[in-house]
Structure 1
Amino acid sequence: MSTRIKLAVSALTLSLASAAFAQAPAKPARIRGDIVSLSGDTLTVHRRSGDTVKIAVKADTPVTALKNIKLQDIKPGSFVGTAAMTGVDGKLTATEVLVFPEAARGTGEGHYAWDMGPSSTMTNANVDQVVQGTDGRNLKLSYKGGSNAVTVPENVPIVTFAPATHADLKPGKQVFVVAAPAGADYTAQRIVVEKDGVKPPM
């Protein structure tokens, strides 16, 4: 192969790689805060961080609420998502637990860093065992590629999904929005909204 052809192939490879990188979807943002307004298809949210952002909401953007359930409702075989803080001893202590409906089993499965503090994590996993401990219930969890244990104190919010609509996106209500960056603003992928006094704890 001539030097000219080699250079052309290298340039084409670099061009394709650059194009693929440019087309890679941006990492979704997690937006927490209070609704300022919903005007047309634009949701304005004042974030906990202090700034205000605008989020495009499409007609088919899923909107759900939450309802409180009891710690005792978590059984072996439940599929849960739990945010937790990692102690100096490496043990996980839950700050909230979301029990997924069976139809949503497998959602976000795994154990990964979360954005509620430098030592926060999220584990979406199957509950293998529930053990009563001195400081709460200990959930033995397993997911594809691993397992861990999380202690759930008595005062931690335990929730599951409840119905909601775009009409529930009212000023003053708290929201948790998973959104894709769209220039200086965002496009909502799914929204969890406060309803009947139950605020999104995740």
Structure 2
Amino acid sequence: MNRILGLTLAATTALSVSAFAAPARERVRGTVSEIGGDSLTVHTAAGTDVAMTLGSSTKYVQVVKSSLNNIEKDSYIGTATKSVGSMLVALEVVVFPPAMRGTGDGHYAWDELPDTTVAGGAKTASAMTNGNVAAVTKSSATPEVNSTMTNGNVAAEASKNGAKQLTVTYKGGEKTILVPPTAPIVTFKPGTMSDVTKGSTVFVIATKDGDKTMANSVAVGVDGVKPPM
């Protein structure tokens, strides 16, 4: 009898924990394969389709091209970086508009992102090969690297050789970040659901609760810009 009661309590506890588990935050990147009504389906680089619900609380922003020149002292930015020794090197930078200052403040783990630094201007030794092409294979995709995200205020900046070194401060700390000329620089503009069309490239922050995934915000690239974050 005690064993049955114990099993019942354990099962009830497990169900309760499952029922009240916090929804999981997800970041979805890819191309819109379907959109209509209150639903959005994104085809990811991994080849999977992620279906999400759109609601009245879903926010939309346009991702548009910016430049290193727009990263100034007192700018509020978000940048995904990779570690090169003791240095943080930017893979991308978002220059937030004033209305979004304070978004995501801090320094924290992020996702694997394309290594935009591999196309940098560094020179290396080379060799020349002239000959007949015997076979052709597709090259692999741009390699991806683990990254961290730093959102904060630019306390200082200095330019040299087409790059910028930034001191970024946030609540509880600061980081020194090198932004190479190869890093995509973008900013946000107000958007609407009508900006999201089939074939658009998007970055979606969503919440997964059981079998339901709700899109909290949708950042859509416009004018050929691909959301790099």
What range is the shorter-chain TM-score in?
0.7 to 0.9
Q: Distance in 2 between matches of 1:41 and 1:155?
A: 37
Task: Tell me what 1:27 maps to.
Answer: 24
d(CA) in 2 for partners of 1:42, 1:103: 28
Which residue matches 1:50?
47
For 1:19 and 1:65, the matched residues in 2 are separated by: 40
- 5 Å-filtered alignment, 1:34-113, equals 34-87=31-84, 89-113=85-109
Deviation for aligned residue 1:178: 0.2
- Computed over aligned residues only, the root mean square deviation of the Cα atoms, in angstroms, reads 2.1
Give the AA of the match of 1:95.
L
Deviation of the 1:86 alpha carbon? 1.1
Alpha-carbon shift at residue 19 of structure 1 (Å): 5.5
Q: Which position in structure 1 is the counterpart of 2:135?
A: none
**What corresponds to 1:166 in structure 2?**
193
TM-score, normalization: structure 2?
0.75
State the alpha-carbon separation in 2 of the partners of residues 104 and 167 from structure 1: 21
Same amino acid, percent of matched pairs: 40
Q: CA deviation at 1:41?
A: 0.9
Gaps of 5+ in 1: 1-10
Matching of residue 128 in structure 1 with residue 152 in structure 2: no
How far apart, in 1, do the equivalents of 2:162 and 2:83 lie?
15
The 1:21–1:43 alpha-carbon spacing in structure 2 relative to 1, beyond 3 Å, is closer
Q: Which has the higher contact order (CA 8 A, sep 6+)?
A: 2
Larger radius of gyration: 2
C-alpha separation in 2, matches of 1:185 and 1:60 = 16
Structure-1-length-normalised TM-score: 0.85
Conserved in 2, the CA contact under 8 Å of 1:76 and 1:127?
A: yes
SS at match of 1:28: strand
Query: Offset of 1:134 from its aligned partner?
Result: 4.3
Q: CA deviation at 1:94?
A: 0.5
